Every structure is written in structure tokens, then in C-alpha cells.
Amino acid sequence: MTRPSHKWRLAAVAVTALAVAAGSACSSSADDPGDTAYVVWDPYPQFADDSQWVALLDRCGTSAGVTVERTGYDTTDLTNKALLAAQQGNSPDVLIVDNPVISTLAEAGTLTTTDDNKLDVSAMAPNLLGAGQSEGKTYGVPIGANTLALYYNKDLLTAAGVDPATITDWTSLTTALTKVKTAGKKGITFSAIGTEEGSFQFLPWFWGAGAQLTSLDSPQAASALTLWTDWLKQGYAPNSVINNTQTTSWQEFATGDYAFAENGTWQLANAEKLGFSYGTIAIPASAGGPAPAPTGGEFVSIPVQKSTERYATSQKLVTCLTSADNLLTTDTTLSYVAPVTAVQDRQAAADPKLTVWVQAVRAAKGRTGDNLGTKYPKISEALWTAVQAALSGQKSPREALSAAQAAAATR
């Protein structure tokens, strides 16, 4: 995808308002067990009917002996429509959704489990599969993942005397930023905007400090927010990060003025168009090694249907879409890292630039993991609010995070 698949919100509050407006737009052939047209909804509206993605859907349909009727929606719109369709009893046969949405749909009782439909998830990486699990049950199969790493400008680092291989923890990264600034260049840009994008970008540092989302005011959390705050105070990061989306942050890096940018796999195509040589390294944890970054990416799920007779064919479609060979093709198209270790190895062998991204995905975590489920959006909002307050100087990192913990506990 050209954007990370994490721009999502709980949609239950929107269902009532959408009911009248959407009405018949959510009708589905899934109502009729004898209908050989199977409905698939996905969050890839950018892919036209002549795309590789749609060709794969058609092939999987042919293999299962049915015709696939596919519609692509914007991520947030798709969540709303999925909840509404479930209320009206006309869900699609197969639903592909952003991984944090799984817990919302599962809690609403709209999805079947992988056990229900005998979907084999044994080959899926446990850290990626966790985003689709709730209360010990798994509600879909991951189709791919994206995550965050640090892009760097090779020319600027060379001029500043920085070897990127020496950046292994927060201390060595800050030392590199100091050298870059001393050389008259700019250090690092990222997104700290007051939305889910801001939380998404802060989480590698938060988790990399050893902090937990159930304790936003821990000393470890404070150390992560202090790191970012100090970078702004020292001029290693620009004040614009407070308003930066991941797109505007990338645009800053693309000027060639910054040594580092925190961004994701979805920028790989744009990275090849940069007017300078670039490289990537994993975001370091405080004490060293790759930090756990949050995962983006989708799950392929089977919604609850009126007729259980359709499930067997839906299972064939999901199995086809998530087979090893098809994952390799699909994840290359989506700029994703595959959810299966063997396929990840094939991706890295075919394109060595993906090696860092494979390592980052293997260390990554799902935002709704640790049984947070639908609690995560409340925690995330409190977290991005704290980041904004600290970076703007309204509160110290500890004060901001104490307020965040209190807010998360009452929401």
C-alpha cells in the first residue's frame, strides 16, 4: 500500500448514523447459500480491476469454483460498512481489514474464528497473528505486515563521520545526531501529530524503553518521551514534528536536509526516487537491539453468515489468498513483509533492501495485543495527547504521562 494501514477508529458510534445512508449499498449475495458469486470487501481502493490484486482474487475464485465480486473501500469506511452489514445480516463472504479493527469486529460478534472454519494459521508468525487474537481466539489470517524503521541519508552521514552500523541503541543514535548537527545539517524527522499516526510512531521508542501500554506513566515510558523532548530542545529534531503526518515527515526527509527519518515500508517506492543515496536501519531499543515497532497490515477474515453452507467455500478463498506463493506476490504488490518466516526469507533473498524490514517485522508487536483489544484506541489517544503536551512544552514528560494514565483509566 502507499500508506500505512493504521488510520482507523472505533466505528460502532457511526453505525446508527450510517444505517439510513448506507441502506441497500451493503446488500450482499452472501444471503443466498446457492449463489456462486462470493463477495469480498478489502481496503485497497487504489487497485483497479486490471491490477494484480484483483487478478489474484479472480484466480482464487476460479480455484474454488465461484465468481468473486470485489469492492475496495477506504479503511475507515470499510470498518463502518462491515459493522452495519453485520447488523443487517448481509456481511460479505470474505472481509479484509486493518489488523486493529479485528478486535472491534470480534467484540461485536461479527467474525467467525479460524477454529470455526478450520483455517490453518500454524505457519503465521506469532507476533503478527497476535493482532487478530482476542480472549484466546483467532479471528482471521494475516495477509502481510508493514512497520517502521529509520531511513538515513548516506551522504549526510558520511560527511558527518557517522557509520550507520555503529547505531545500535539510543546513546549511539543521539551521538550520531550530535555529529550531524555539528556538521551543519539537520538530524531526524518523524511524526508526532495528535492522531493515531503520532502514537504509531512513538510506540517503537515507548516499547523500546521497556514500557507497557497498561502503564503509561512508568519510568520507562517517561524515558522514551524525554528522549523525543530532548531531541527537540537540542535542535536534533524540528518543531514541525508536532504537526507532521508520516507523509509530511517523509517530504522533509526527501529535501535531503535530514540525516534520518522514521517511516515505513510504504515509502520504499518513494525512496527509490530520492535525489540522494539512502539506507535503512532498525529503530534501536534503549539498551540495544531492534525496538518492537507496531505492525500495520490486514487480516483476511470470514464474517458470520446466515447460511453456514457458504463457509466451506469462503475457507477455500482465504486459504488461497494466504498461501505461501500468493503471499509472496501479494506482499510485493502491497509493499508488505509476509507473515510467514519462509516467505520473508524469499522476499529478502529477492530484494536485499528488505532485510532490515524483515528484521523489524520479526521484532514488531500488534497494537491491540496483550489482550488490549478495544481498549487500545482509548490508550492511544491518551498517549498521543501526552506526546503533544510534552513536545510543545506544556508539561514535563512525567506530568504529561501521569495525565495520560489517568485519562486512559477513566475512558
pLDDT of residue 411: 64
Task: Give the full edge-to-edge strand order of the sheet including 278-281.
Answer: 186-189, 258-264, 148-153, 278-281
pLDDT of residue 331: 87
Place of cell 457458504: 310
Kindly report the average pLDDT of the chain as a whole number. 91
pLDDT of residue 92: 97
* pLDDT tens digits along 66-112: 999 999 998 878 999 999 999 999 999 999 999 989 999 999 999 99
CA 201 to each of CA 120, 189, 194: distance values in angstroms, whole numbers, following the listed order: 32, 11, 11
* pLDDT tens digits along 308-336: 999 999 999 999 999 999 999 888 878 89
- Percent pLDDT > 90 in the chain is 83
If residue 235 lies in a helix (H) or strand (E), which one and from where to where?
A: none
Confidence grade of residue 410 (pLDDT, cut at 50, 70, 90) = confident
Confidence grade of residue 31 (pLDDT, cut at 50, 70, 90) = low
If residue 97 lies in a helix (H) or strand (E), which one and from where to where?
A: strand 94-98
HSE-up of residue 335 (Cα within 13 Å, Cβ side): 18
Checking if the pLDDT of 7 tops 90, the result is no
User: What is the residue type of 286?
Assistant: S
Radius of gyration of the CA atoms of the chain, in A: 22
pLDDT of residue 371: 81
Give CA–CA dist 277/188, Å, rounded: 16
Intrachain domains 12-145+296-362 and 148-293+372-410 with the same fold: yes
For the chain, what are the domain ranges? 12-145+296-362, 148-293+372-410
User: What is the residue type of 180?
Assistant: V
* pLDDT tens digits along 135-147: 889 999 999 999 9
Contact 128, 295 (CB under 8 A): yes
Choosing among 3.40.190.10, 3.20.20.140, 3.40.309.10, 1.10.1740.10, the CATH entry for 12-145+296-362 is 3.40.190.10
Confidence grade of residue 22 (pLDDT, cut at 50, 70, 90) = very low
Checking if the pLDDT of 296 tops 50, the result is yes
Q: Per mean pLDDT, which range of 2-11, 32-41, 284-293 is the poorest?
A: 2-11
Phi and psi angles of residue 46, each rounded to the nearest 5 degrees, phi first? -70, -15
pLDDT of residue 285: 98
CATH topology of domain 148-293+372-410: D-Maltodextrin-Binding Protein; domain 2 (3.40.190)
Checking if the pLDDT of 234 tops 70, the result is yes
pTM (2 decimals)? 0.86
What is the mean pLDDT of the segment spanning 141-163?
A: 97
What is the mean pLDDT of the segment spanning 122-145?
A: 94
322: helix, coil or strand?
Answer: coil
Q: Torsion angle of alpha carbons 99, 102, 103, 105, nearest 10°?
A: 150
Checking DSSP bridges between strand 133-134 and strand 137-138, what pairing results, if any?
A: antiparallel
